[in-house]
Structures are given as C-alpha cells and as structure tokens.
Structure 1
Amino acid sequence: MNKPILSGIHHIKIPVTDLARSVAWYGEVFGFETTMEFPEADGVTRGVAGTAPGLGDTMIAFRVNPKAAEGCQGFDPVSFAVDGKDDIEAWAARLDELGIRRSPVIEASIGWLLVFDDPDGLTLHLYSWDQHGIDQSHRPGYGRAVAH
C-alpha cells in the first residue's frame, strides 16, 4: 500500500484573548478578511476564519482561548513566507509605518527573517524563500542540514 501524502496546509489556528482586536490587527498588518464565523450555543462568536493576500488556499483562524494565548506568548508556531530580502525590507518598513516593534532584518539559518509579536505576544516570523548562502550552522540556535 502506498503511503498517503499531504496536499498542503488547510488552516492555521491562533489562540487570542480579544477576537475583535486580533481580527483588526491581522487585517491591518496582513490584509486578513473574515470569511467564516463560529458562533457558540449561547450565540456569541468566539472564532473566525478567513484569508489574507499571498496565502493561497491556506486560511487563518482565530479562536478565543486566553489560557492558550498566554501559553503561546513568545513562541513562534508559524513563519509566513516572502520571496526575498527586498520583501523582508519592505515588510520592515510597513511594520515601522504601523508602529509595530520588530527585530532588525536577520540573516537566519537559510534566508532572511523578520520577527515581531501580535497583540497577544505570539511571535510571528516573516521568512524569505530566497537563501542568503551564509553558513550559519556553527551558531547556537541556527539550523544545520541532516544527512539521510
């Protein structure tokens, strides 16, 4: 029997403390637009899903879960992709324009990286597909290739 394969990422779900604040922030930063909402039995909507330019079919979902949001502070579960260093620098300028604190442009393990936090302290990465060609494997915390 053949091993089944994945066909992509359907959605990422981000825990939040304030749904309206997060939807507004992700809308301003990434162009997020809500396409679905998930009302509870009490009629209160505590989750939404939607799209953002550049993500193709992959959706972003937000779910009110204060305990999970607190537990994720400072963690980076997702890296959004950009093409190259020029795109990273354009994002850095955009974040500066929005007044969002960010890292400098980082020469990461294989590409360029920009790091910043969402309103709940979840750390987000913008990482380039283009590679810089610098061997960072000797640096603590940086990746190195694994032989198979």
Structure 2
Amino acid sequence: MNLGFERILQVKIPVTDLQRSVNWYRRVFGLRLAWEFGGPDVVTGAVLTDDAERFLIGLRRLDTVPGEPSLAGFDVVSLGVPSVDVLRALAERFDELDVEHGPLFDRGPGGGVQLDVPDPDGTVIRILSPFGEHAPFIGVEFGPDGTHAFYTAPRLQLD
C-alpha cells in the first residue's frame, strides 16, 4: 500500500556537546548548518543538511531530550552511497581526517557493503552501498563470534 511517503527526511540524534557535534558532522560529512534553535540565551539544537537538502540530520543537546537516551554503539541511521568505490573513498577521507571508522563489511547476498563511523558520542552512522538482487525476505543470524548466517523464513509471527 502506498501511503504517499517518499523518504525519511530527518533523523534526530541526541548529543552531549552540541558545538562539538555540529563541527564534527560538518567536517566529516561535508554538511552545512541549516537551522539552529533554543531559548534566548542558549542554542539547544541544530539541523544540518547536504547542499541539495536531500536529507537532514537534527542534533539535540542530550540534557534537553526527554529520558536522556544513550545511543552509543547503535546505528541510528544509514546513509546510502552509489557504489562500493564511494565507500572506499569515504574510508580514505576518514583516514585523512583521522576519524575513527570500522572496516568495509560485506553484508552477504544482496546486502551491499557497509562502513560504520561513530560520532563523538559513539552513535554509529552507517553508510551502505546499493543492495544487490535478493529474495523478498532475508534473515541474518549473528553468532557469538560475530559470524553470520542467512535464513529465508521469518521467525517473527506476522499478523
């Protein structure tokens, strides 16, 4: 069923140091500051975007977010790139900028390749190459040693 949604427009990420995070996202991903907001004496949030405004990353000071969530180690968003070559070039850029990142990881049949980059708070920004052809459903089971295996029948009970 098509409900008219075209894309995910914005992702909001809680951060401990707004200034540091704005500078990091601008430097690492080449984003520009599009908006900032807050009270009369303090900026509590910012929105960054690419030049074409295809996507927005909202950053909120953690102390202003209800529940003060921690996303350290969690990949809250995945950004898409057109090829594995672009992922390789990004990994080289991150190395030149001395930015921590994981290795290129092949996600298996039809899953593309990923590159993970933790932001200053440890929230992972995942970057994905295009997916190849795959079945309508693929399950992935991760073993205790990090190896993975694929399965084709959902384990969740679907209504």
Q: Sort the TM-score into its range (normalised by shorter chain).
A: 0.7 to 0.9
Identity %: 31
Contact 1:16–1:65, Cα closer than 8 Å, also in 2? yes
Q: Could you tell me which residue of structure 2 aligns to residue 21 of structure 1?
A: 20
Contact 2:49–2:56, Cα closer than 8 Å, also in 1? yes
Contact 2:139–2:153, Cα closer than 8 Å, also in 1? no
* Partners of 1:111 and 1:88 in 2: CA distance: 11
- Structure 2 stretches lacking a partner, 5+ long: 143-147
Against the structure 1 CA distance between its residues 3 and 34, is the aligned structure 2 distance closer, same or farther, given a 3 Å change threshold? same
Q: CA deviation at 1:58?
A: 2.0
Mean Cα displacement is larger for which, 71-80 or 5-14? 5-14
* Partners of 1:46 and 1:138 in 2: CA distance: 39
Against the structure 1 CA distance between its residues 124 and 50, is the aligned structure 2 distance closer, same or farther, given a 3 Å change threshold? closer
AA aligned to 2:88 is E
Number of residues of Structure 1 aligned to a counterpart in Structure 2: 141
AA aligned to 2:106 is E
Q: Could you tell me which residue of structure 1 aligns to residue 44 of structure 2?
A: 46
AA aligned to 2:49 is T
Q: CA deviation at 1:139?
A: 5.4
Q: Residues 90-111 of structure 1: CA distance to partner in whole angstroms, max 9, x if unpaired? A: 0110111111122111101410
* Partners of 2:21 and 2:140 in 1: CA distance: 38
Q: Taking structure 1 as the reference length, what is the TM-score of the superposition?
A: 0.81
Contact 1:84–1:130, Cα closer than 8 Å, also in 2? no
Q: CA deviation at 1:11?
A: 1.0
Higher relative contact order (CA 8 A, sep 6+): 1
Tell me, yes or no, if structure 1 residue 33 matches structure 2 residue 32. Answer: yes
